[in-house]
Amino acid sequence: MQFSKSTDYALHALLHLGHPDRHHNVGIKELSATLGVSESYLSKIMSKLRQDGIVRAVPGVNGGYELARPAEQITFLDVIQVIEGRQQMFECSNSKSQQHQLLAEEGAAQPDRKRPGQGECLVEQVMEGAQQHLYQYLREHTIQSVLDEAFKRRHQEANKK
Amino acid sequence: MQFSKSTDYALHALLHLGHPDRHHNVGIKELSATLGVSESYLSKIMSKLRQDGIVRAVPGVNGGYELARPAEQITFLDVIQVIEGRQQMFECSNSKSQQHQLLAEEGAAQPDRKRPGQGECLVEQVMEGAQQHLYQYLREHTIQSVLDEAFKRRHQEANKK
DNA sequence: TTATTATGGACATCACATATCTATAATAAA
DNA sequence: TTTATTATAGATATGTGATGTCCATAATAA
């Protein structure tokens, strides 16, 4: 139950691209050097981000990457789902087992067979609730919000002195 | 970024043990048959739960497992942490890279070197916030709360008829 | 046309989840 | 005390995904 390193790389790369006084594309060389990751590996990640419309890529001289939309419209959830995929965080593997029948209708004398697909797993439902909570939080944090926080701190630092 | 099947098995096994009209230990055979998982594999999981004090185990004739404490004191978070471990969900792998220095003190003329360990990664901080949100939700849901929900539904079902 | 840069495929490696089998220890019943 | 039963721990196997490298190709601007 851990986020992959790729997600880490992706988030940091986007922060770099979102840096305000940057007016040109950023090549994989610069990104790679800044993050301390190999060019080979990082380009795979950037390709994914491009395929999902998070960044734009330009080949050729002076090419590189740039954000495809404003940094405040790139949420943590966006990035995570591109890299980690969009599967459910939890899947109940024994929906057909005796367990669910016991929980759903245990002791119930009447065999009520009118709603077939209704037997959803209660464990799964709790976990889906957890996922929704997590996702909501991740939607509320964006590349821009991190940049803002960084600059706010730098400012506080300067004032304190 | 997915929970393992083992977590699924553990949660369902505990639901079985927490079932109210159960007054004796439950052997691995019964658990295995109910969940549709092999005895070998499930016993590994049960051993972990025992080592962490979630269940008690009794060998020998009429032995088996039982909850080590009331079902309302066994949270989803407890179970998940036993099975998945207690590492952070996210770790920033490049705390020493140029990236953080840029974000932390970019443009800052004064080399402020008084607080050494303060340079925490802002991405990591967001992700830790996410984790805390998730954990809070998982702490609020217990084996008992799922059982309650199951019986509530069964009751509604009976009344509707 | 050329140098530069991104892209995609193939490949290698390692860690981990999943799973099985077997020998051993502990316990209750006989 | 013996025996049957049950949990436990170790060794092992296997597949899958994360991480990472290398190389050939395509696209683009100078």
Assign residue A9 the CATH number of its domain.
Answer: 1.10.10.10
A107 assigned to some structural domain: no
Hey, what amino acid is at B56? R
> Which B residues 105-144 have CB within 7 Å of strand D?
none
Domain that holds residue B151: 5-104+121-160
User: Does residue A38 have a pLDDT over 80?
Assistant: yes
CB-based contact, B104 to chain A, within 8 Å = yes
Q: Detail the DSSP E strand segments found in chain B.
A: 55-58, 64-67
Residues across chain A: 161
B110 assigned to some structural domain: no
Residues within 8 A of A (CB atoms), B 43-72 only: none
CB contact under 8 A, A97 and B122: no
Q: Which residue's CA lies closest to nucleotide D17 at its C1' atom? A: A4
Tens of pLDDT, residue by residue over A78-121, are: 999 999 999 999 999 866 666 666 665 544 433 443 333 446 78
Rounded-to-integer distance, Cα B14 and Cα B19, Å: 9
A1, A35, A107: residue with CB nearest B94: A35
A115 assigned to some structural domain: no
| Domains in chain B, number | 1
Q: Which of A29-38, A90-99, A143-152, B122-131 has the lowest mean pLDDT?
A: A90-99
The answer to whether A122 and B146 have CB atoms below 8 angstroms apart is yes
Measured CA B29 to C1' D2 distance, in angstroms: 25
A105 assigned to some structural domain: no
A35, A93, A108: residue with CB nearest B154: A108
B114 assigned to some structural domain: no
B112 assigned to some structural domain: no
Rounded-to-integer distance, Cα A72 and Cα B122, Å: 16
The answer to whether B7 and B84 have CB atoms below 8 angstroms apart is yes
| pLDDT tier for residue A138 given thresholds of 50, 70 and 90 | very high
The answer to whether B105 and B113 have CB atoms below 8 angstroms apart is no
A59 assigned to some structural domain: yes
Nearest CA to A9 out of A58, A59, A63, A65 is that of A65
B136 assigned to some structural domain: yes
Percent of chain A, pLDDT > 90?
70
Rounded-to-integer distance, Cα A76 and Cα A91, Å: 23
What does each of the 161 residues of chain B score in pLDDT, given as a tens digit? 899 999 999 999 999 999 877 778 999 999 999 999 999 999 999 999 999 999 999 999 999 999 999 999 999 999 999 999 999 999 998 766 666 666 655 444 344 433 334 467 899 999 999 999 999 999 999 999 999 998 888 777 677 65
Rounded-to-integer distance, Cα B145 and Cα A149, Å: 39
Q: Which residues contact A96 (CB under 8 A, 6 or more apart)?
A: B36
Strand C: which positions are within 7 A of a protein CB?
Answer: 3-9, 17-22, 25-29
Residues of chain B with C-beta less than 8 angstroms from the C-beta of A2: 1, 87-91
